[in-house]
Structures are given as C-alpha cells and as structure tokens.
Chains A and B, each alone.
Chain A
Amino acid sequence: MECIKCGKESTKKDRGVSGGRCSACYQAFVSEPTEHGLTDMAIKLAEEELSGHGRIYFSKDSLKYQLQRLFIKRIQWCNIGMSVLLIIAVGLSVMAVLNGGFFVKITLISGALVLVPLVIKANYKKFISQLDVLVDKWISVNPHEKLLTAEKYQASLGGRTPTNLDEMAFKQVLICERSETVALLLSNLFHIHYGCHVLSGQSYPGGVNAEILSRLKQNPSVKVFLLHDYSPAGHAFVRRIKTDAKWFGGQRVEMIDLGLNAHQKKLFNGMTNKQLDRNKKMKETAEIALFSPEVLMKKCGAAIKEGVALDLISTAVDAE
C-alpha cells in the first residue's frame, strides 16, 4: 500500500513491523485493504474528487457515501461478472445435456465460478457496513481542510443578527431537514450562487434564522423549497413546515417539495439503508448526504431555478 504522504510502498508485514506507520515518514495508515477493501490513497483520492481538488466543502457523511459509491460500482461489476458467468454456465449446461462428456466438467467449473462474485459482493457489503468507523478514524488522522466539522459549522454562523439589510424582504428559501445540510450549502455559497436563502427545520443558523424567516414571511409571494431525507422523519419535517404557524402554517405560499421521496428512487438507486422495523417489515431510507456536495448544489440549484422536484431536472444541471 502506498503512503499518502511520501508515496513509499509497504506490505502488510512492513506495516505490522512499523506499528501501522510508514517506515519512511511515520505517517499513520488508517485502512487495511484486506479488512476495509480500500487503501489510504483510495480514500484520499475520493476526498480530492469530493472537494473538487480543495474547492468544495464536504461533510463526514459526504465522504462516507463517496466511498460507498466506490463499493457500489464494484458490486455492480460483480453483478455483471456474475450474470456473464451465469449465462455461460446455462449455455454449457445445455451443451452438457445434449453432448455430455467434456461439457459436464466445464459446466461444473463455471457453476463454481459463479460463486466467486457472490463471495466478493458479500465482502463489499461487509466493508460498507464498516465505513462509519473507518471514516471517523480517517478524519481524526487526516483532517482535510475542506471537511466541514462541528467547529467549522459554528464558525460559519457569525452569531449576530444581520444589521445591513434595511427593509429588504426575501424571495425564496430552501428549508432543509438537517442543519448539516444547511451548513454544507452555506459553506459552499449556495445562497450566493442561486440567490436563495437556506434555513434548517432545526432553526439553524441560530443567530439569523428568525430574522430571515421574518423577512421571508413579509413577502406574500415567497417561494419555499423543501429538502429532506427519504425517511419518516423527512416526511414529518415536510408536514411541520406546511402546518406549523412558526413556519408557514396557515399561510398561502407556494411550497415545492424537492425530495427525497419514494418517487426519486433512481436518484439513490442502490444506496438506501434497509432495516427491519418493529413489525419486522423492511424499511427503506435514504439520506440527503448521499449526494456529493457538488451534485447536491447543482441539482438543488437547477430544481429551484425550474421550480420542480429533484427527479424532474434534466439538462438544466449542466447548463449555466
């Protein structure tokens, strides 16, 4: 495995001898390919891609999902491999039934080979389940300058009531279920790029939330966009913003639910969290953080511009 600091290659044995550090520069290794399915360099490259080479803020969850996407790609390749092997095996078994002899042996071998991708897939799924722990360790050892930590959220707040706004009212707002999403959007200047204010359902950012909300309410034709997880909490959030008088309950405003919801499955195909609920029924959820910050910004920006939900955006994402 290559050291991310000095580039020196090391074997598992080398790493064991040097206490999990690079023998040349003492940089600590975080992942072990056999245990985590990833090298440190792969994680670093994922971070670089996520941050647009140091220009875009991202969260811990963004990194987790970025790495998950790597595994999902590999799982997709496993599926393709498995399908090809399966077709070959079926073809060979037909030949074996018709001709026997040599084809029987080949059919048995190919049948056994079909199991290989299945094993690999199972491994990847195990690696995905360990990602939370791996990412926590990674960010404590290698904190990226664009990683949005809790301290940076606080720093981004400012904390004062805005004083320079005169009698300005606001035209549109994107209300997010999670404060982390708001911090991510604000840090990447979503409000500047798309001329849309951003607030969270948890009254974040604290110092300015009330002021911004009051200026939004002054505008009878305000447009309200909602962004949330695909989860019961996400649905409850939408209901709250629509009905709670503290938000827009009782007001006739244009409200557009950007998502996530069940209709947008193609946006997060293969990346949902599946868990059994109390009634032993499979519940599927998806977090908004599964989008990389760049994709989230562009999708939300285009959706706001066109006034439509995320899954209805087409080419507008790439246009200026």
Chain B
Amino acid sequence: MSRFQVYCGADSDRFEQYLRVGWGEARTPILTVNSLGFASSPQPTTNHVVFAFMPDNRCDIGEHSTLFASPDGRCTGVFSGKLFDFDRLLGGFANELSTAQKLGALLQQLHARHGLDFPLQLHGFFAIVMVVDGQLLAVRDAIGERPVYILQTPTSTLISDRLATLMSNPECERVINPAGVSDFLSTGFSPFERTPVKGISKLQAGVIATITQSSIHCVHYHQLHDQQCRVGNANPTETHSIAEVRAALESAVANRLEVNTKTGLLLSGGLDSSLVGAVVGGHNLTAAYSLNFGQEYRNELEFSGLMAKHLGIPSRVITVTSEMIKAKFLQTATILDEPIGDPLTVPNIIVVEEAAKEVQLVFNGEGGDPVFGGPKNLPIMAFEAYNMGMADFSREEMYLRAYNKGHEHLPVMLSKAFQQQLNQHQRSAELLAPLLNDTRFDSYLHRLMHINLRLKGGSQILPKVLKASAAAGIAVRSPLFDRQLTELAFSLPPVMKLKGTVEKYILKQAVSDIVPAVIIDRPKSGMLVPVHYWFNKELKAFAKDVLLHRNAKIRNLIERKALQNLIDFKGGGIRPYYGDRLWLLLSLELWMQAHNISDGL
C-alpha cells in the first residue's frame, strides 16, 4: 500500500520541511503545484498544492501508484492503486511520454469529457488526488478498496490515505470527535464521513470531492441500483444469471492475480474464502492460512483443511492465544490507524504476518455477505416482518443494535459530560435514516446490502485488510468486492440472493462445481473469537489494568461504574456481549494511547 500526502495551503515550505523530517527526503518523491486559486472562497487566496508519495515495493505489487502530471501541466496529482485496463487506457498516448505523463493526460482527458463522473471510466481499486483546471479533486474508488482522509484546518487542507499520517501532522489537534467516537461505540467502526478525530473526515466509497479552502463538496459518482436499472436482459433466467456471476467472479480474480508472485489464500473454511480459493485455483496458490484459537474453542479447521486439500495446497494453521492477543493489541491499534472494534483485527494481523513469511500477495473472501446478502441481514429482516410500532425501536435504532457492539448500552455507559457534547452532533441513527429509506431500492434486502457494502465494507472490512497486510509488507486482494461483480449482484432479483432460507443463493450456485458441497451447504458460523471466555478468565486482569487505569484515556468518556460492571460481567441485560464490548473499549483506549489522542473534555 502506497502512502501519500497532499497539502494545500499558503505555507508549503513548512509542510515540505515536515515531510523531510517525517518521511526522509531521499525516499519521498514530491510534486508541487503553485498558485491554486480558490475562486469560490470569499477572499481569494493563492495556495500551493504539494503532492508527496512514498512508494512501497512490497505492498505495491502490480499497482500503478505514482505521482503524475499531464504534459501540459494542467492535471497533476497522485494515484494510489491499480487500474485493471491500464495498458489499454494508456495505449493511445504517444510512446515518448512517461507512464506518469500518460496517466496525467488520461485523467485530464476523462475529466474534460465526463466531468465529475470521470472515475466511472476507471476500473480497479484506487485513490486519486489531483489538481485539474484549477480544481482540487479527491476520488475514492467505487467500492472503497482505498481510503482517503481529509484534514481541514483554518489555513490548509491535508489529504492522505492514512488517518495516522494526518493525525501526526502538527496542524491536527489530536482531539476526539465525540460523534465519531459514538459511531464507533455503536458499530465498532466509523461508518460515516466523520471520523473519531476532530477536523478529519473521510470519503465514502464511490465519491469524488471538490475541495476548497473552507469546504468539501462530495458527489456520489458511483451509485448502485435495483434490477429495474439492469442493462439488457431485464428478467434473466437463473441459468443465465449463474453463468454471469461465475464469469464476473473469474474476471474479478483474474484482474487481481499478479504474474511471478507467490500468492496465498486466507482461508476461514467458510463459503466465501473457499470459493475465492477455488476461482484462483490451487495451481496459482502457494498455501492456505487458517486461524485457530486452541483446542478448547470451536473452529472451522475441518472445513479449511478440506478446502486446502481440495485445492491441493498446504494448509498452514496459525493458533492465536490470549497471550498473543495481549502482546499484539497496542501494535494493532497503531497499524489500523482508525479504531476498529472487531475482535478479528488482532488475529487477522497475526495470520497475515505468518503468510508474509512465504508469500507476497494474499487473497481473501471478504465481501461475500455485503455483496450477495449474507445471514447478517436476517435479524433486521426478522424485525421488518413484525412491523413493530414501539417508539423506542425505530428501524435505525434496530440497525445499530444489530451490530451487537453495545449501541443500546450507550445511555448508561457514556459519561454525562460526553453525552452533553454529543447533543451538539447529529446522531448515528439520523445519518442512517436516508440509507434505510433509499427509494432507489424497491427491495429492502437490497437496501440492507447497500448499507452493509457502503458502510461496513468501505469503512471497516476493506481498510482493515489493507492496513493489516501493508503492515506485514504484503499486498492483499478482495475479489468479492469487485465493482462489476457488485453491480451484477445488485442487478439480479432479490430472490437470487435470499431464496427461501438459502442466503447467497446465486453465489453458491455459481461455484457449485468447484467448491465441495459440504462447504456450500453448511450454515455460516463465522470466525468466532472466544473473547467472552478470554475476558472472563485470562484477559480479565489485562482489561482491568488498561481500562480502569487512573490515566486511561477513556476515563472521562465512559462511566467508571459501567466499566467495572463490564469487567465483572454484570448487568448486561438479555444479550450482554461482555467480551465484544470489552474488546470495543480496549480498541478505543489503545487507539487513543497509540496516537496520543485526547478526550477534549
């Protein structure tokens, strides 16, 4: 994963000086654009835009990440990621131009032709920040495989693909954004544009932002629709759809494979990672890597072993213990750079580090549920079945509760001071409402899939796998989050995703000849990290030491009594999720420690 920083402001010298200290002058290519005037600002000022780019040969395998400038200098910027049809797109430009010049010319041409919709013409995963015709634009790819964060201060704007990069900039106050932290405590990640850090926002997937000195104007250039917008055959037969999905899967994998690269598979033993392995093919894979939490806890090794054998590749099993979790938690908070309260984060990092010892690229099965309607939608659909009219259960509240992270516990968990601060911000549920009532989707299942894809996919799953693999020094590919595959999945009738009681129906049919039936037919269990048991035994003291420490960063945000009850496994109600909630709070505390973020109270 490349790392880029873009500065826009009057004091570019200071920024370049900061870069030299932080990144090291010798390794950091820098491109400067002078005199960017913001015509729309009340007092037009002349700003400098500085693009800085840190290549990483290990993580950038197969990518086209670079600084670029069109030959006439009117389109300059930084590109991070990969375009699947790169050679075709650049084929029409003069041979004497460098790749960076061709890329600049291409983006300039596309922008001139399609305006702010130009990223629709690009197929791949990418983040782009560029100045074109005097406008500063930031683009995130359609599905959100590459993150883009923006820090706005009174005098400058900074853009990067790493939140940590912006947090470490002297212009960042390093204070929490209460609403962002509340979002995190409800869902386990930051689903919306706002982040947990004051002044820093992020681009949602499929968004292009026009950035001025005082504002960020976002446009969704990529939109998903129901099947009525399907191009061509409006009522596809099941057989036809199965073939289409299979072809799209194969294309998604082919676009992500790299030649002469040792490739591994992160294999849970569930349907999604198994089918990705099957489409990649055993001949392209060096080994499969699977997790286990010890003999005493449930695992899926029977199925991951079966699939590895089916693919004809060695199965490497990595056993993650509570001691390893304890040792790795703080480092994980640093690596992930925004807090993620999913108990799989630390195990994911451990397994990727193991994989990095023998491969350069890993494939995973992330995305099967958001794209094809996995079982996580079922509780929300169950709620919908009853049309319950009780005032305290709005659809939005129910959706937030369904993350099982403790949304319903916030009123007793958050300190009074923190709750007062929150009153000045839009609530998470308010931001969810337009998505749950999105009339582009007739099918409620499609609305849920869309939210899952846009919020959880783009803000939790994809950034998590990207940052974890980057820290281990390898590249990662998530082919089920492919744009074409996603568009196809949404264009098919809902019954092809949830047919009777069968979830991801069409996906299962599309791979039924290459994945063993026992894996296709078994109910999804998910990779369950035994946090409930760990925090009741060996990690109890760790949780207590960190969360109840007198200098804990969250001491003013969370009620001490609520913390004590949680640690003692008391008063949690019907489904207390003690382990998950402790993990969530530890993630927040250690993230604040790792990045030296204060509570602002």
Inter-chain contacts of A167 with B (CB < 8 A): 494-495, 498-500
Out of A169, A298, A320, which one reaches B577, CB within 8 Å?
A320
Encoded as 1 (CB less than 8 Å from any A CB) or 0, chain B from 390 to 434 comes to 110100001001100000100010000000000000000000000
Which chain B residue shows the least CB distance to A198?
Answer: B386
Residues of chain B with a CB closer than 8 A to A171's CB:
501
Q: How many residues of B are counted as interface, with CB atoms below 8 angstroms from the partner's CB atoms?
A: 39
Is B134 part of the contact surface with A, judged by Cβ < 8 Å?
no
In the complex, A53 has a CB within 8 A of chain B: yes
* Cα-based distance from A53 to B565 in the complex (angstroms): 14
A157/B501 in contact, CB under 8 A: no
Q: Which one of B121-129, B187-195, B330-338, B376-384 contacts A?
A: B376-384
Whether B498 contacts A208 by the Cβ 8 Å rule is: no
Whole-angstrom distance between the alpha carbons of A205 and B385 in the complex?
11
Residue of A nearest to B448 (CB): A164
Of A166, A205, A298, most buried by chain B (CB within 10 Å of CB) is: A166
* CB atoms of B385 and A55 under 8 A apart: no
Residues in chain B near residue A164, CB distance under 8 A: 381, 384, 443-445
Known: A55-B408, A167-B494. A219 touches B500 (CB 8 A): yes
Residue of B nearest to A196 (CB): B382
- Of B382, B576, B578, B579, the residue contacting A192 (CB under 8 A) is B382
Contact partner of B389 (CB less than 8 A), chosen from A155, A188, A195, is A155
The number of inter-chain residue pairs (CB within 8 angstroms) is: 116
- Complex Cα–Cα for A169 and B532 (A): 32
Cα-based distance from A48 to B443 in the complex (angstroms): 41
B383 cross-chain contacts in A, Cβ below 8 A: 189, 191-192
- Asked if A156 and B384 make an inter-chain contact with CB atoms under 8 angstroms apart, the answer reads no
A207 CB contacts on chain B under 8 angstroms: 387
In the complex, chain A residues whose CB is within 8 Å of the CB of B499: 167
B384 touches A157 (CB 8 A): no
Q: Mark A17-56, 1 if CB is under 8 A from B, else 0.
A: 0000000000000000000000000000000000011011
With A320-B532, A320-B575 given, is the CB distance from A155 to B384 under 8 Å? no
B573 at the interface (CB under 8 A from A): yes
CB-based contact A156/B388 at 8 Å: yes
Interface presence of A159 (CB below 8 A): yes
Interface residues of A, count at CB 8 A: 43
B154 interfacial contact with A, CB 8 Å? no
Q: Name A's interface SS.
A: loop
B91 CB within 8 Å of chain A: no
Contact A294 B574, beta carbon cutoff 8 Å: yes
Is A218 an interface residue, CB under 8 A from the partner? yes
Contacts of A158 in B (CB 8 A): 386-389
The interface residues of chain B lying within 8 Å CB-to-CB of A55 are: 408, 573
A238 contacts the other chain (CB 8 A): no
Beta-carbon contact of B386 and A191 below 8 Å = yes
Residue of A nearest to B443 (CB): A166
B496-527 vs A, Cβ < 8 Å mask (1 yes, 0 no): 00111100000000000000000000000000
The one of B382, B389, B402 in contact with A157, judged by C-beta atoms closer than 8 angstroms, is B389
A193 to B380, CA, bound (A): 10
Against B, the Cβ 8 Å flags (1 = close, 0 = not) of A204-244 are 01011001100000110100000000000000000000000
Q: Which residues of B contact A208 (CB under 8 A)?
A: 385-387
**Other contacts beyond A168-B381, A294-B573: 4, CB < 8 A:** A157-B389, A167-B499, A170-B501, A189-B401
- Cross-chain pairs A/B with CB under 8 angstroms, 8 sampled: A164-B443, A165-B384, A166-B443, A191-B385, A208-B385, A219-B500, A294-B574, A301-B574
